[in-house]
Amino acid sequence: MNAVPATANVREKILATGQRIMGGKGFSAVGLNEVLAAAGVPKGSFYHYFGSKDAFGEALLEGYFEAYVADMERIFRQPGKTKAAQIEDYFAAWQDNQSFEDCQGKCLAVKLGAEVADLSDSMRSALDRGTAAIIAGMAAAIEAGQAEGSLPVQDDAEALAQSLYQLWLGASIMVKIVRTSQPFDNALRTTRHLLGLPANTAVP
């Protein structure tokens, strides 16, 4: 006989299912019944884990950003690579995760950002905290690259990180509109220019 899953596991299953479905369809277009049916969880159990759909959305975003920042930190801790090379790897991973073909919940901030910011202040706050953490991590990597000399740019690291995040966020939206990777190609060229890196030379 299969053991009854622990409460935490059920909660995580609902969140993972919601992230996958809402990453594709959006927040408003997906009802709780669809998420719970896909997760195999009785409808009546939902409010044991989340007080409302907004609370579920907030938890969804918090979990997404927690995993995102952890993965970003892993990239920035790669041994044997300069910070410049690690930053290039980060943006390469961004392109893979933000594919216009099938993001499978990996592009949740892009998919839900503009939508839920106008729907729910709690979800907007979760987005604000999450994006601020990403920008802070990127700024720290830029500062480290400046200190070690792999990034010749002398601009303020935090302002540069904000500009880069906004650039790539916009590019992620554009690839969904034009259905090609051209916006990412343009963003990468601009990124290398802003960081003072050669246009087409691989970074060690």
Distance in angstroms (rounded) separating the CA atoms of residues 190 and 164 = 9
Cα–Cα distance measured from residue 164 to residue 191, given in angstroms and rounded to the nearest whole number: 7
φ, ψ of residue 101 to 5 degrees: the values are -80, -45
- Number of helices (H) and strands (E), helices first, in the chain? 9, 0
Locate 51 and state its tokens.
């007080």
pTM of the predicted protein model: 0.87
What is residue 119's predicted lDDT score, i.e. its pLDDT? 83
Category of 151 on φ-ψ map: left (φ > 0), alpha (ψ -120 to 50) or beta: beta
| Average pLDDT value for the chain | 88
pLDDT in tens, 83-128: 999 999 999 999 888 765 655 556 778 888 888 888 889 999 999 9
Amino acid at 30: V
- Given a cut of 50, is residue 3 above it in pLDDT? no
Q: What is the pLDDT of residues 7-23, one digit of tens each?
A: 668 899 999 999 989 88
- Among residues 166, 162, 167, the alpha carbon closest in space to that of 188 is found at 167
